[in-house]
Amino acid sequence: MPGMDHSPKAPAKDPDMAHMDMSGMDMPGMDMNHPMAGALGPYGATREASGTSWQPDTSTHEGLHLTRGPWTVMLHGLLNGVLDSQSGPRGDDKAFVSGMLMAMAQRPLGDAGTLQLRAMVSPDPLMGKSGYLLLLATGETADGRTPLVDRQHPHDLFMELSASYARKLSGKDSVFVYAGLPGEPAFGPPAFMHRLSVMDSPEAPISHHWLDSTHISFGVVTAGVVHDGWKLEASAYNGREPDQHRYDIETGRLDSTAVRVSWNPTANLALQTSWAHEIAPEQLEPGVNQTKVSASAIYTLALGDHGWWSTTAAWGRRSSEGVDLDAWVLESAVKPNAAWTLFGRAERVENDELTVAAGHHGPTFTVGKLSLGAIRDWPVSDHLSVGLGALYAFDFVPSILDATYGNEPHGAMVFGRIKLR
Ligand SMILES: [Cu+2]
């Protein structure tokens, strides 16, 4: 992985403190001597990403941090206005908004307990039920009858409403429970909108339904144990993907299972491997179950006072009815200073939903995508920045799909954004 030879050393004396992003921590009432602790265990909050997933301790959380009485509150927010153009017979142009607003509130409970509440909402339903154009992306449905192909589905208005309680057993050990409606089960790396190596790009990964599409599961209960850099956890959850009604809260049996082992061997590195068995995840394929496996590594380096460089390598496999489909991802984003963010992502996916044969699935095609982009941000106040960005994506399809996708399929997006910082 890039940067690996700068072998990660223990960062200063207090690993929780060393790489905390202090830029948002000048609120009145914030005690600078006590960086925010993790919600699930005895480590710094920078290790925590979406759901109960981990990222490297060196990660930064942009946003507002404030304290009110026993509560510590964090707010993260990002709103993108995107002009999207995808090439070829399956392409078109579309404008859409995407992003998220997330609030987390945490407080001690008893002498060894920590309670955390999270709420996250998305503007995606405003896109309309068919989401936005994105060549080679598949998954979910807009009308309950046909699958979305070459489109990214909108996310639900409520992306996470969850609570967790952790109990410290020692300076290195804890146990925790997490429940969400919706929430994220113990599967995969952090969801892409919380993964430092891709979160600034408004373009969803085409590997989403292999690695992290479970991030909105309508009903999740997870229990886990933490020992130092290790976490072992298991979830019971509603494995059915969200339906096309994006403003509601769905319910269903917690019929699916996920297990994840996470290991952060150094402050710079987060590793996980996970397994899930999902009962009838797809609305259009009742009765068809799916097994998923994933493994990922995230390496994050702090650069100067405000910069970072984060890289994720991930593999995911979904298996159902005797067919295994793999996805490979290598993505990296670098923020050398407060002004610029550069990002790139390479993906290779085996997909059998790009052409529909009798019913839903057609033949399997191995397709790829290389996406490169940049964003320039300008601060407009202490806690708000505006930015302008662009990205270009090259799509790779086998020659048998040349007529379907046209010559040299590609996509481009230009976008403006507002971000809490
Ligand atoms: Cu998603």
* pLDDT score recorded for residue 63: 86
* pLDDT score recorded for residue 216: 95
DSSP letters spanning 3-68: TTTS-----SS-HHHHT--GGG---TT--TTSPPBPSSSSSBGGGB-STT-B--TT----SEEEEE
* pLDDT score recorded for residue 2: 40
Ligand 1 centroid to residue 358 C-alpha, Å = 27
Average pLDDT over residues 70-99: 95
Residues 255 and 416: their CA atoms lie apart, in Å, by 41
Q: Which residues pair with 272 in a beta bridge?
A: 262, 296
* pLDDT score recorded for residue 3: 38
* pLDDT score recorded for residue 61: 80
Ligand 1 centroid to residue 215 C-alpha, Å = 6
Residues 76/60, Cβ–Cβ less than 8 Å: no
Ligand 1 centroid to residue 212 C-alpha, Å = 7
Tell me the per-residue pLDDT of 1-45, one tens digit each, with 9 for 90 and over. 343 333 333 333 344 433 444 444 444 444 444 568 899 999 999
Tell me the per-residue pLDDT of 249-258, one tens digit each, with 9 for 90 and over. 999 999 999 9
For residue 90, pLDDT over 60 is answered with: yes
Q: Which two tokens stand for residue 155?
A: 């996310």
pLDDT-derived band at 95, boundaries 50, 70, 90: very high
Q: Which residues contact 279 (CB under 8 A, 6 or more apart)?
A: 239, 240, 253, 255, 256, 289
pLDDT-derived band at 359, boundaries 50, 70, 90: low
Look-up of token digits 């020692």: 170
> How far, CA to CA in Å, does 73 sit from each of 25, 63, 315, 391?
11, 10, 34, 33
Share of the chain above pLDDT 70, in %: 91
Ligand 1 centroid to residue 208 C-alpha, Å = 7
Give the amino acid at 288: V
Tell me the per-residue pLDDT of 47-69, one tens digit each, with 9 for 90 and over. 999 999 999 999 988 889 899 99
Ligand 1 centroid to residue 288 C-alpha, Å = 21
For residue 220, pLDDT over 60 is answered with: yes
Give the amino acid at 64: L
pLDDT-derived band at 358, boundaries 50, 70, 90: low
Q: Which residues contact 202 (CB under 8 A, 6 or more apart)?
A: 80, 82, 98, 99, 389, 391, 413, 415, 417
Ligand 1 centroid to residue 20 C-alpha, Å = 27
Q: Which residues contact 23 (CB under 8 A, 6 or more apart)?
A: 62, 306, 421
Ligand 1 centroid to residue 27 C-alpha, Å = 32
For residue 92, pLDDT over 70 is answered with: yes
What's the pTM value of the predicted model, to 2 decimals?
0.90
- Through-space distance between the first and last CA atoms of the chain, rounded to whole angstroms: 28
Ligand 1 centroid to residue 138 C-alpha, Å = 11
Ligand 1 centroid to residue 281 C-alpha, Å = 14
What single-letter DSSP state applies at residue 401? G
* pLDDT score recorded for residue 344: 98
Ligand 1 centroid to residue 213 C-alpha, Å = 5
Q: Give the count of beta carbons closer than 10 Å to the beta carbon of residue 24.
A: 22
Give the amino acid at 129: K
Q: Kindly report the average pLDDT of the chain as a whole number.
A: 90
Cβ-count burial 275-291 (b if 16+ within 10 Å, e if not): bbebbbbbbbbeeebbe
Tell me the per-residue pLDDT of 143-198, one tens digit each, with 9 for 90 and over. 888 889 999 999 999 999 999 999 999 999 999 999 999 999 999 999 999 999 99
